[in-house]
Amino acid sequence: MSALAEGALIHYEVEPNYAGWTLAAYVAEKLKRPLPPERLERLLRGRSLVHAEAELLPETRIWAGLRFALRKRSPGDSGEPPRIPILHEDEALLVVDKPAGLALHPTARYHVSTLTWALAERHRNASGEKPDPAHRLDRETSGIVACGRAPVHTRRLKAAFAARQVEKAYLAVVEGSPRDDRFDVDLPLVVGGGRVKVKTRVDAAGAPSLTSCKVVRRYQGATLLRCVPRTGRQHQIRAHLQAAGFPLIGDKLYGPSEEIFLRLAESGGSPAPTGMFDDLITLEERGKLRLWRQALHASGLTLPHPVSGEILRFESPLPDDIAALLETFRPL
């Protein structure tokens, strides 16, 4: 074997003594860490396999001198974040429209590819202070994020959130069709207690949690909802919609099976590029998810200005990927 690492690729050249082996058997033999057969199959049928042949499949019989490469699963950083649309900016408040797939804060997997990196590098105030988000938004969720331009402004915004002086609204595309055009999900929530430590679940001993939902449009097999969380629990909308029987389309944790989330988390690699399914997600699972990310968008935000106290309202339209998804559905 000639295996040479070049950036994110590991190159292979098949030795004569492996001629006639299947590609899958050869790669299984050469990998430093064994992979389950079904995972190796997905790896070799996805974007990870790079070659110049007309066809190269897991079952292909290989020959001496065949050259191909495998992409290494890299850390989550994919370079500088894209340009972040600005909805409002003054000396105390910055409101941005975060794209889906961009992490809010640095983690072990993300450092540069985060909203906070973009804010620190591109939006410091005249005193050199960086803006900081005043609330959370999941990496896969798109939409409005409010930031204080200096620490004192961020503290005031966070205090307004804690005092429930802020209203957030989300657009969510869910499986199924709720009976009523308006309904509340009033179920206590707690984090943890299952296989996924970050997963929120309904529990009688949990914190009181309330989400108000309104049907925006019905489709065959799906519904566009406007959801307003009256409390601020982790994953509240996602957990409440699952508990109500209308899980978010594209949700890998609260959707078809948490096994999808666990498989990706335990792989130790980064997610697929924005807008694409991960190679580790099977074709059947992709069909059930229907979208590469959870179909949740933070579309509205009403809050008091951190200095003047004036009530400000911001809106963000559905992003292109969710709008395109809706175009594939039949309206009712």
Q: What is the DSSP string of 253-284?
A: TTSS-HHHHHHHHHT-SPPPPTTS--TTS-HH
- pLDDT per residue rounded down to tens, the chain (332 residues): 444 434 467 899 999 999 999 999 999 998 866 778 887 887 888 777 899 999 999 999 999 999 999 876 555 556 678 889 999 999 999 999 999 999 998 765 666 788 998 998 898 988 899 999 999 999 999 999 999 999 999 999 999 999 999 999 999 999 999 999 999 999 999 998 888 889 999 999 999 999 999 999 999 999 999 999 999 999 999 999 999 999 999 999 999 999 999 888 877 666 778 899 988 899 999 999 999 999 999 999 999 999 999 999 999 999 999 999 999 999 99
Cα torsion through 43, 46, 51, 52, rounded to 10: 160
In this predicted structure, what is the pLDDT of residue 5?
39
CATH of domain 86-327: 3.30.2350.10
In this predicted structure, what is the pLDDT of residue 270?
64
- Using DSSP, state whether 93 is helix, strand or coil: strand
> Where in the sequence of the chain do the CATH 3.30.2350.10 domains occur?
86-327
CB contact at 8 A, 215 and 182: yes
In this predicted structure, what is the pLDDT of residue 9?
75
Q: Which amino acid is at 193?
A: G
- Tokens standing for 289? 């998810």
What class does CATH assign to 4-71? alpha beta
In this predicted structure, what is the pLDDT of residue 4?
40
d(C-alpha 121, C-alpha 105), whole Å: 14
d(C-alpha 299, C-alpha 291), whole Å: 18
Say what the pTM is: 0.78
Residue 297 CB burial class (10 angstroms; 0-12, 13-18, ≥19): buried
Q: Known catalytic residues? A: 138
DSSP string, 177-225: --SSSEEEEE--EEE-SSSSTT-EEE-TTSB--EEEEEEEEEETTEEEE
> Where in the sequence of the chain do the CATH 3.10.290 domains occur?
4-71
- Using DSSP, state whether 322 is helix, strand or coil: helix
At which residue do the structure tokens 């961009």 appear? 102
Q: Which amino acid is at 175?
A: E
d(C-alpha 193, C-alpha 134), whole Å: 28
DSSP string, 6-54: ETTEEEEE--GGGTTSBHHHHHHHH-SS---HHHHHHHHHSTTEEE-SS
d(C-alpha 117, C-alpha 130), whole Å: 9
CB contact at 8 A, 67 and 51: yes
Residue 33 CB burial class (10 angstroms; 0-12, 13-18, ≥19): exposed
